[in-house]
């Protein structure tokens, strides 16, 4: 009974719910924005990393390596607390979205690159022999095939971005975790934290299962369409 009352306190939960739902909305919004920016940026970065002129290729590679090495929390704190010293003052949402998508696009660039490199040379040659431009070759021939290959790792990456949104509570962004922590302090009861954990699970568990499903289907599909 004591345990239930402490961790699953219904009235505390109901009181905290409106704010937590608003927090959940912020979390989802931040995650979606960062994921989209990360995918678009990652694709561009992968193109530069693979096909640009040498100096730009090196820059892209350096960017990818650096951003994959730096802890996300450190980057976030730098953007939010250090940039103001050079006059760049971002809202907590913008700072979090920037940090998340800057890192995410480094990871997605590597995923896209592995997908593109997995496409047989013959596909590039067939398109080239037909006089197709680089842009058309990518859009119509290479990327559609690469997308299928990178689906599982890319979804995993998106899940990570969604999870990492929780770090934004460090820069006082009113996301799900932040709201739950505040509600917990207010009620002197941890139920909101448990509630937040459950909400994260409800959000992410289906995605995780989707990844395993795609992987199983790809493994079963074998020879690829």
Least Cβ distance, residue 85 to other proteins (angstroms): 49
Least Cβ distance, residue 122 to other proteins (angstroms): 4
Q: Determine the Cα–Cα distance for residues 34 and 80; give it in Å rounded to an integer.
A: 16
Q: Determine the Cα–Cα distance for residues 221 and 224; give it in Å rounded to an integer.
A: 6
- In the complex with other proteins, the residue whose CB is nearer, 123 or 156, is 123
Q: Determine the Cα–Cα distance for residues 197 and 216; give it in Å rounded to an integer.
A: 28
SS (H, E, C) 25-39: HHHHHHHHHHHHHHH
Q: How many CB atoms lie within 10 A of CB 197?
A: 13
158 CB-near residues (< 8 Å, 6+ apart): 35, 38, 207
Q: Determine the Cα–Cα distance for residues 194 and 7; give it in Å rounded to an integer.
A: 7
Size of the site for other proteins (CB under 8 A): 21
Site residues (CB under 8 A) for other proteins, limited to 144-163: 144-145, 148
- Pick the binder of other proteins from 11, 91, 136, 209 (CB under 8 A): 136
- Pick the binder of other proteins from 40, 56, 128, 186 (CB under 8 A): 128
- Pick the binder of other proteins from 66, 81, 125, 186 (CB under 8 A): 125
In Å, how far are 12, 111, 168, 176 from 164, measured between CA atoms? 26, 18, 8, 12
* CA 1 from centre of chain: 40
Least Cβ distance, residue 127 to other proteins (angstroms): 8
- In the complex with other proteins, the residue whose CB is nearer, 91 or 133, is 133
Which residue in this structure is represented by tokens 């917990």?
Answer: 184
Segment near other proteins (CB under 8 A); pick from 42-50, 62-70, 136-144, 191-199: 136-144
Q: Determine the Cα–Cα distance for residues 42 and 37; give it in Å rounded to an integer.
A: 8
- Pick the binder of other proteins from 87, 129, 188, 220 (CB under 8 A): 129
If one asks whether residue 87 binds other proteins (CB under 8 A), the answer comes out as no
If one asks whether residue 140 binds other proteins (CB under 8 A), the answer comes out as yes
- Pick the binder of other proteins from 28, 70, 77, 132 (CB under 8 A): 132
H-run or E-run covering 2: helix 2-7
- Pick the binder of other proteins from 133, 202, 208, 216 (CB under 8 A): 133
If one asks whether residue 126 binds other proteins (CB under 8 A), the answer comes out as yes
If one asks whether residue 54 binds other proteins (CB under 8 A), the answer comes out as no
What are the residues binding other proteins (CB under 8 A)?
Answer: 120, 122-123, 125-133, 136, 140-141, 144-145, 148, 223-225
């Amino acid at each position: 009974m004591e345990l239930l009352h402490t961790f699953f306190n219904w009235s505390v939960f109901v009181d905290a719910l409106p704010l937590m739902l608003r927090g959940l909305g912020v979390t989802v919004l931040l995650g979606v924005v960062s994921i989209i920016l990360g995918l678009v940026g990652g694709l561009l970065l992968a193109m530069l990393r693979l096909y640009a002129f040498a100096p730009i290729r090196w820059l892209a590679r350096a960017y990818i390596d650096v951003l994959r090495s730096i802890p996300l929390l450190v980057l976030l704190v730098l953007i939010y607390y250090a940039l103001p010293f050079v006059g760049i003052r971002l809202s907590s949402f913008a700072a979090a979205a920037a940090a998340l998508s800057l890192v995410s696009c480094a990871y997605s660039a590597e995923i896209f690159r592995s997908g593109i490199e997995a496409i047989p040379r013959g596909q590039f040659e067939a398109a080239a022999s037909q006089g197709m431009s680089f842009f058309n070759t990518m859009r119509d021939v290479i990327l559609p095939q690469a997308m299928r290959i990178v689906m599982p790792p890319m979804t995993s990456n998106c899940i990570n971005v969604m999870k990492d949104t929780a770090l934004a509570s460090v820069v006082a962004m009113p996301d799900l975790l932040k709201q739950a922590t505040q509600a917990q302090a207010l009620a002197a009861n941890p139920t909101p934290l448990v509630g937040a954990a459950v909400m994260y699970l409800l959000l992410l568990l289906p995605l995780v299962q989707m990844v395993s499903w795609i992987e199983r289907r790809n493994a079963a599909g074998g020879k690829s369409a």
